[in-house]
A and B are shown apart, each in its own frame.
Chain A
Amino acid sequence: MTDAVLAQPTRLSLARRVIDGGGLWPAVPALVYLVLFMVLPIVTLLTFGFVTIDRGAITDGGFTLTHIAGVLGDPLVWNLTWRSFWIAVVSTCLTLVLAYPIAYAYGHLKGVWRTLLLVAIISPLLTSALVRTYAWIVILGGRRGLLNQTLLSLGVIDQPLQILNTSTAVVMGMTQIHLPFMILPLLAVLSERDRRFEEASLNLGASQVETFFRVTIPMSMPAIVAGFALVFAVSYTNFIIPQLLGGGNYSTLAVQVYEQTIVVLDWSRGAALATLLLTTCFAFVLAIVSVGGRLTRWSEVRR
C-alpha cells in the first residue's frame, strides 16, 4: 500500500524526465539547423565528387570515380597541395615564434599596458581579413610599395624588391593575418600560469632561459598544439591571401577549389578538389594533434 503510493510519483517523474529530456530541448533548434545547413551540405559536397554534375543537377551517370581519379592523377594538383602544405607550415611556425613572446610578455604587464596590448591583439581579430590583406598589398606592392620606398630611400637596395606575387608575400600575409589566432590560446594559458613552477626551476639552479625552455614552453604545450592546429588549418584552406598577394598566376589547392567552382564552374572537379582539400587538411591536423598528444601526455594523466 505504502509502496504503491511512493512508487507513483517516481513513475510520474520518470515520464516527466523523458519530456524535459534532461534539458536537451533548448539545443534542438541549433542541432536541426546544423544538420540541415552544415551536415547535409557537406554530405552533398562529398557526394558531388563522385557523380557528374551539370548545372547543379546530378546527371544520369551515377557513381563515378572519374573526377576523383582525374584530380588525384593530376601532377599539378599534387604540386599545389605541396605548396599549400609548406606555405601553411612555414607561416604557422612563424606565427608561433611571433605569438609566443607576446603571450608571454602579456602575463608580465600590468594596468594600462596590459589593456593596450590586449587591444593590439584583439583589434586585428575584429578587422576584416580582406582589409588586412589589402594592407599588405600597400606595403609590398611594386615600386611605390611602402617596403620598397623605405628600403630604397635608406639605400639598403638599389632595385625595388619583387615580393608581391611571390610565395614570400603569401607567407608574410598569412603569418600576420593569423597571428591573433595563435596568440589567443597561448594568452589564456600563459597569462594565468603559476609562476611558482618557474621559481622552483630557478631555485633548482636553472637560468631563466633554461627555465623558459624546460618549464614554461613544455607546460604550455597543450595551447601550442591547439594554436598550431588551428592556424595550420586556416592557413592551409585560405584562398583569399594567396589570390591577392600571390597574384593572378599564383595558385594553391584552395585557390584551385575556388576557381574550379566559381570561375570555371566545373563543380564535379571543384567537389573532388574540395574533398581532397578537406581530407588532407584533416589528415594534417590529425597528425599535428597526435604528435602534440605525445608531447602533452602528462596533461592527461589522472590519479
Chain B
Amino acid sequence: MMRKIKASSAQAMLPIDRFARWVLIAVTAFSILLLIGPSLIVIAISFEPRAYIAFPPSGFSTRWYQAVFANQQLLDSILVSVRISLAVMAICLLIGVPAAFASIRGTFRGRAALNAFLLSPQMMPGMVIAIASLFFGAYIAFRASDLMLILSLSVFCLPFVVRIVMARLADLDPLLDEASANLGAGKLETFVRVTLPQLAPAICAASAFTFIEAFDNVTVSLFTSDVRARPLPVELYYLVQFDSSPIIAAISSLEIGLSFVVMLIIAKAVGLERLGR
C-alpha cells in the first residue's frame, strides 16, 4: 500500500517545537527590524521638507541635502575627516600587513604573544586609548591635532587590518612561496610577486574597513582632534546635541550610503561572511 505522506524534506515536529519555532521566528524578525529600522527611519526623515523632524515625513524634498552641501563648516569637516581617514588607512596598511605576515608565517618563539599584542587595541576601550594619547601627547608637549588624531586612530584601527589580512594569509598555501623560491626568487621578490597579489582582496577589504572606522569614530576624535579643524564625527556630535533640523538626518543618510559602498567593496573583495570571523 502506498501512501502519500508529505512532500516536504523537513522532519515531523512536536507541538511544543512548532510553537517554539514561531517564537524564534518572531524574535528574529524583531531583532532584524531593530537592526535596520532606525537607519531606515533616519533616511526617511532626511527627505522632510519642513524644518523639524517628523515620521513619516510630511513630503519629499532634498532641501536638507542641499543644506549639507551649502554648509561650509560641514564640508570642511568632511574634508578633514577624509584626509585623516586616508592617513590612518595608509599607516595601518604599512605596518599592519607586514605584521600580519610575520604573525602567520613567522617561526620565531612568542608568535602567540605577538598575535595577542597586535590585536590588543581591540580589547582596549576606545576612550582609554584616546585619553592616554591625549595625556601622553601633553606630557611630551604635543597638542591635540590632526597628527595626534591620526596616530591615535591608527592604534585603534590596526587590529582590523591585522585580522583581515591574517585570515587571508592563513588560507594561502605557503608551498607557493617555496615554489617561487625554488624558481629563484628572493624573499622580498616572492612577497611582492607571489604573496602580495594573493593578498590584494584582503588588503582592499581592510582598507575600506579601516577607512570607515576612522571616518566614523567619534570617541577617539572627541579627545584628540584639533579644536579648530573638527573632523565630521565631532562636528556631528555637537550638531546632534544642539540642532534639531533634519540636516543631521541628511548627513546621517549620506554616512549610511557610504557604509553601503564600503560594504559592497568588502563583499566584492573577500565576501561579507569573512568579516564575522
Contacts and interface: CB of A to CB of B under 8 A. Distances in A.
Interface string B107-125: 1110000100110110111
Contact of B27 (A30, A101, A185): A101
A23 B102 contact: yes
B212 interface: yes
Given A22-B106, A44-B136, A278 B125 contact: yes
A126 B53 CA distance: 24
A30 B154 contact: no
Interface in B205-229: 209, 212, 215-216, 218-219, 222-223
B176 interface: no
A144 interface: yes
Of A138, A240, A244, the most chain B CB neighbours within 10 A belong to A138
B103 interface: yes
Contacts of A127: 39, 216, 255-256, 259
Interface string A9-34: 00000000000011111110111011
Interface string A31-74: 10110011011101100100001001110000000000000000
Of A38, A40, A97, A117, the most chain B CB neighbours within 10 A belong to A38
Contacts of B263: 119, 122-123, 126
Interface string A184-210: 110110000000000000100001110
Interface string B166-179: 00000000000000
Contacts, number: 275
Interface in A157-183: 176, 179-180
Nearest to B97: A26
Contacts of B124: 38, 42
A146 interface: yes
B132 A138 contact: no
A277 B36 CA distance: 31
A120 interface: yes
Contacts of A99: 31
Given A123-B39, A126-B263, A146-B55, A37 B151 contact: yes
Contacts of B101: 23, 26-27
Contacts of B132: 38, 41-42, 44-45, 274
A209 B17 contact: yes
Given A26-B99, A131-B255, 18 more contacts: A34-B121, A34-B155, A37-B151, A56-B135, A98-B27, A104-B28, A105-B28, A122-B272, A127-B255, A138-B55, A188-B277, A208-B14, A234-B125, A237-B127, A244-B241, A258-B127, A262-B222, A277-B128
10 contacts: A23-B107, A38-B121, A40-B136, A45-B128, A99-B31, A127-B256, A129-B216, A234-B125, A239-B219, A270-B131
Give the 6 A-B residue pairs with the shortest CB-CB distance, closest first.
A56-B138, A22-B108, A26-B98, A135-B38, A41-B132, A237-B125
